[in-house]
Amino acid sequence: MSKVRVLTNLLCGSCLALLLLPREAQAAGRLQIGMPDALPLGAEQALELDSGTRSWNGRGTVTISGYLDSAGQVPALIVGGQALESDGETEITLEFKRGEAKLPVLGEAVGSYALELETNGRNGAVSLEVVSALEWAQSLAPDRMTVTVPKSDTAFAVRTAVAEQIEKEIAPSGFTAAGGKVRVTGNERQGFTVTLTGEGKTVVLPTQVKVYRQNATGQALLAEQLEAILTGDFSFSAAEEITAESIAEQAAAMVGDEKTEVSVRWSEEEYCWYIGLHRQGQELEAPLYLNSRVDLSFDSPALLDQCGIRLATSDDVYVAGGVLNTVGMAGNGYDAVVFPIWNYGRDFCIQAQVHIIGAVSDSRWCGLAFGARSAGGSGTASKYAFWQMGLRRDPTASNGVECARMLPGGAWSTQCAAPLGASMEEGQVYTLTILYQDGRIFQYVDGTLVLRADVADRATADGRVAFTFDGATAELLSLRVTDELPDLPTAESLTQNGYDTQVYEAKTGLVMSPTVVTEGDELSAAGTAEGERRPATLVKEVYPDLTVVDRGTHISVRNYVDRLDKRVLAGFRIEDLSTAAAFAQYASVNGIVDVNIFSSQLQVLQTACAGRPGIRAILDCSGMVLPDPVEATSLAGRAGARVVVLDLDDAQPETVRAIQARGVAVWVRAGSGTEVYTAILSGADGLVTGDWEGAMDAIESFPVGQRVLSRSTVITAHRGLHEDAPENTERAAALAAEAGADAIECDVHLSADGVVMVNHDSTTGALMNQDVFLSAATQLQLQSLTFRNKALAGERMPTLAQLFQAVGDSDTIFLVEIKSEDPALIPALVRTVYACGMEDRVVFLSYSGEQLSRVRGQMPEAAVGYLAACTQSGADIAANLKAMAEQLDPLCAFYSCPQEAQTTALTRAARHRGILIHPWTVDEYELFEQKYYDGYHGITTDRADYASYYLTGVEALQTEITFQAGEEGGGSLQVVQQARCGAETVNASCFLQISGDAVVEMDENGRLFSRTPGTAVVLLGSTATLPATQVPYRMYSAPVTLFCTE
């Protein structure tokens, strides 16, 4: 009889196959037995029995014997559905038809076995040998093979083609179906290596591969064109733009072949698009997962032909064993597999199962990404921009799980990070979920919400889905993308620590809009807190008996705080020392935190707050007559306050900017109507008003979706501008000032002869021709050294006094970082500042709280900033607010923190407390602009020149303008458009009407007019676009009154 080959799948987890060796047909009169070439372990196959009696139909008995070995052991076989009897003889009943029947056999262990069969007086024998699926796969693999690929195929694509063909050759073994893996490495020039991994073993096949390249024709050409589509970037600004016609149009452009016709159809049943290619009688159709629902399968190496691939030289990725496999050999920045799955203008959920097998270090990771778009390069050197959920090999690290963005320029922007509570166990599989909803990212591990982040530019969420890794060997077991959003928690669970508030955030186009503070004993605390819209802070006067008046009734301070129910921050006005002292004791005993104390008396604030965490001082200067309102900065320092309240008349934009640049927040007292708009557009960080609803109306009148900057971010030049000059030098400082930097950061140490020197490190080796300790050398010795790079003749390490002189009389602020822990540095530093007359232009920074305390003790008017991270971007806001209060409040410091230690949400929450956040060091252009358009109070950067020509303000040439009503009346109104490096007079390019009976319009030529007579109050604006990210923004002038006459 001829051999019968039976192909079946192994049961899950099987690792062996049973090979039944073929025999020649039995002699006449004997039982003839047809046997398959192979029988996988755990999968039944049949022996075909032929008794030779064609008239025999019905049930018959088959007796099995001769199977006991020399020790009398029964073989590990299941025959006819039952185990063999231990006495050496087993009877099986079969159904015969025309003398033929099938006898099922299943092998359970490796070994060689013999069986003798008898039925209807006829006998036969078989010899069986059990071998593993891996060995069987080896026997099926060819020694030599030829693979034909298109000429344009990359080396990676060729390896994939070889793997695909090997898998087809060994498929009968069931090796890959059981989870065995085929990996191909090498190339055409050096040869290929084919590796089989399974059953705890790795085997290298001796297969030699010959590759033929030819021009793609017919189906091969269509397949090549399909790959161009599936690895390409579509462009849609909204989900509604996605139609069969628009897809076909863009796909045809990707194909670039007029002879190929592209068709697109939607399958409601599969909930995805199908794209068809038609060329000269050839057709090819494939699913197109664009705003679709997909459970991606990893059952063929050919999947990678449809993916964008980025790989470092030593890293690899391949599909085998039903999973996507990554091989990470070193930390290389990132590798990526970008799948043919797109999301555009929709909310979606991505869910994947991930197993990290190993990594080159515990800090290495794999990630789930979305919004992936090409950013240059080609082949495995391609670059992408994307959002990512990263999981580290050590998930318990502070950044064990990260939400980060890879920017188009190739830099990471970490949005937030958090640890998992338990270490990774061997074989552990994590379910990673990304939920993108209404411009927010929610990241889950095994169903638990870990991180949340805002997507400021929603267009960045559009693009492909990807799997990324860096130095990690991992498996992606499953991937699902859908618009059916799961019922997962999205609300952040706040730590119950007294800072777990729910302050209302205005719905507005204003970026980092001013916090709203209202005062009034007539206001009900509970009633104010109950409103959906509400002020951030309600301030009430504290009486000597430590009560406040709440709608005519005296209640205790504690009762007042409780009535606000953490929905509104409690504010207290205290103007006498005895009440201040009593309040401080009361707050300590009753655990009152996260409150603001308002006073015009410096000593009152010192006494009431006493540097206690969570009791914040607000210096009210609105009733003071100050020769120069910027003097409020030094008064705030003496009072232990980080916020000053100015009267509207004092809150000129240049004054507000000057105070903010000195590390102090500015809240402005305003009435209603145009006063509120004037206060907002002065750049105020907060509004103090008796009409909080009017203030909120004004804030929310700026349309959501328009990015409006009401103040200018403080730009600090980190060590000066040192692209073309040595860092921390006079020339670097001068270049920074010329580029319009608001502040210059520098680092100081004390020389052996007591001079304050400017250098980043405690030694000179990083920059100079010799390596010496600054503390061990005199000024003369240090200034005899020369810079190795970027220096001009005679350039030297400056003293702090010399650095001050480099910028002359400009208003540039110096942020002096105290590098040394030496207490002796502080008196010398303070003497230098006073001697140079720079006490009103210096802010001190340090990682050391002790050094900042020493500075504040000797120079109490100075503002200080704390540099070390006391927050975690992945921690909840309440936990971070408490951490900031404990570290910053005793120092009266603003927060100059590493960029990865904060989030936009934390910065928003902090502004209601008067805490300014200045991330450092932000050098990547796109990331810099992201921080800028997110409205951060300050940015420390090596590239202050990025912001030289960003808008910093808009000023109307006239506050009142009269023109004739009607379309022919009106005209283009001019404004002064201000930037750090100059100003120019231009026509207003936009406007916002805030009141009036005349309805103002702008025509296509930028002319303002009203069709009817009347009066209107408008804000005149200028629009601009950030150059790196192409994000548009606008700034407005103070209110302008238009009189539209008959």
Do 292 and 265 form a contact (C-beta atoms < 8 A)?
A: no
Higher pLDDT, 27 or 673: 673
Q: What is the pLDDT of residues 1007-1020, one digit of tens each?
A: 999 999 999 999 99
Average of pLDDT values for 309-329?
A: 92
User: Phi, psi at residue 231, to the nearest 5°?
Assistant: -105, 10
Strands 515-519 and 472-482, bridge-based pairing: unpaired
Residues paired with residue 64 on neighbouring β-strands, in sequence order: 90, 117
Mean pLDDT of 152-156: 88
Nearest CA-CA partner of 1018 in 952, 978, 960: 960
pLDDT at 1026 > cutoff 70: yes
- 292, 294, 458, 891, 1030 from 464: Cα distances, Å: 12, 13, 14, 47, 21
* Pairing of β 951-956 and β 974-979: antiparallel
pLDDT band at 43 (very low <50, low <70, confident <90, very high): low
Q: Note the pTM of the prediction, 2 decimals.
A: 0.81
CB 425 within 8 A of CB 391: no
pLDDT at 242 over 90: yes
- Cβ neighbors of 495 (< 8 A, separation 6 or more) are 876, 878, 879, 882
Contact between residue 755 and residue 745 where contact means Cβ atoms under 8 Å apart: no
Which of 189-198, 412-421, 553-562: highest mean pLDDT?
553-562
pLDDT of residue 398: 85
Query: For 852-903, where are the E strands, in sequence order?
Result: 863-866, 893-895
Which CATH number describes the domain made up of 294-482? 2.60.120.560
Query: Which residues make beta-bridge pairs with 715?
Result: 939
Q: Is 443 exposed, middle or buried (0-12, 13-18, 19+ CB in 10 A)?
A: buried
pLDDT bucket at 1043, cuts 50 / 70 / 90: very high
Q: Say whether pLDDT at 15 is over 70.
A: no
Distance CA 888, CA 878 (A): 15
Q: Does pLDDT of 281 surpass 80? A: yes
**Is 797 or 175 the better-scoring residue by pLDDT?**
797
Radius of gyration for the chain, computed over Cα atoms and rounded to the nearest angstrom: 38
- Binning pLDDT at 50, 70 and 90, where does residue 19 land? very low
Model confidence at 434, pLDDT cuts 50, 70, 90, reads very high
Residue pLDDT, tens place only, 525-569:
999 999 999 999 999 999 999 999 999 999 999 999 999 999 999
Q: Band the pLDDT of 24: cuts 50, 70, 90.
A: very low
b vs e for 357-369, b when ≥16 Cβ sit within 10 Å of the residue's Cβ? eebbeeebbbbbb
Chain mean position to CA 785: 44
Name the pLDDT band for 755 (thresholds 50, 70, 90).
very high
Q: How many CB atoms lie within 10 A of CB 598?
A: 29
CB 583 within 8 A of CB 574: yes
**Domain 714-867+920-947's class?**
alpha beta
Count of residues making up the chain: 1046
* Percent of the chain surpassing pLDDT 90: 83
Chain mean position to CA 919: 16
The C-alpha atoms of residue 980 and residue 708 are separated, in whole angstroms, by 18
Q: pLDDT band for 217, please (50, 70, 90 cuts).
A: confident
Q: Say what the pLDDT of residue 4 is.
A: 32
Q: Which of 457, 458, 440 is nearest to 449 (CA)?
A: 440
Does 363 have pLDDT greater than 70? yes
Give mean pLDDT, residues 682-696.
Answer: 98
Q: Which of the 8 DSSP states describes residue 581? A: H
Average the pLDDT over 937-947 and give the result. Answer: 97
Question: Residue 690: which of 714, 669, 708 has the closest Cα?
Answer: 669
pLDDT in tens, 555-566: 999 999 999 999
Name 684's bridge partners: none
Mean pLDDT of 354-378: 95
Residue 366: name the closest of 401, 398, 342, 338 by CA: 401
pLDDT value at residue 37:
66
Cα 467-471-476 angle, rounded to 5 deg? 30
What does the pLDDT look like over 847-887, one tens digit per residue?
999 999 999 999 999 999 999 999 988 888 999 999 999 99
pLDDT in tens, 616-659: 999 999 999 999 999 999 999 999 999 999 999 999 999 999 99
Level-2 CATH architecture, domain 951-1045: Sandwich (2.60)
pLDDT at 547: 98
What is the model's pLDDT at position 9? 32
> What number is the average pLDDT over the span 124-146?
88
Task: Give the pair of three-digit tokens for residue 447.
Answer: 């169903």
pLDDT at site 872: 87
Write down the residue that tokens 């940015």 correspond to.
939
Roughly how many angstroms between the first and final C-alpha of the chain, as a whole number?
Answer: 110
SS3 of residue 21 by DSSP: coil
Instruction: State yes or no: pLDDT of 145 exceeds 90.
Output: yes
Q: Averaged over 654-667, what is the pLDDT? A: 98
CA-to-CA separations, 953 to 175, 735, 1023, in angstroms, rounded: 69, 22, 11
* Confidence tier at 20 by pLDDT (50, 70, 90): very low
3-state secondary structure of 400: coil
C-beta separation of 387 from 441 below 8 A: yes
pLDDT band at 38, cuts 50/70/90? low
Sequence-separated (6 or more) residues with CB below 8 Å from residue 1032: 707, 1023, 1024, 1025, 1026
pLDDT tier at 8, thresholds 50, 70, 90? very low
Q: Which two tokens stand for residue 35?
A: 């046997």
Max CA-CA distance within the chain?
Answer: 125
DSSP single-letter state for residue 901: G
Closest C-alpha to 850, from 829, 872, 822, 830: 822
536 by Cβ neighbours in 10 Å (0-12 / 13-18 / 19+) ranks as: buried
Let me know if domain 16-133 sits in CATH 2.60.40.
Answer: yes
Q: Residues 407-410: contacts with CB within 8 Å, 24+ apart?
A: 407/924, 407/926, 407/927, 407/930, 408/373, 408/375, 408/926, 409/375, 409/924, 409/925, 409/926, 409/1028, 410/333, 410/375, 410/383, 410/924
Provide DSSP, 769-831: SS--BGGGS-HHHHTT--BSSSPPTT--PPBHHHHHHTTTTS--EEEEEE----TTHHHHHHH
Quote the strand ranges of 461-562, DSSP E: 463-470, 472-482, 515-519, 537-541, 547-550, 553-556
Task: In whole angstroms, give the CA distance from residue 581 to residue 605.
Answer: 10
What is the C-alpha to C-alpha distance for residues 312 and 332, in angstroms, rounded to an integer? 7
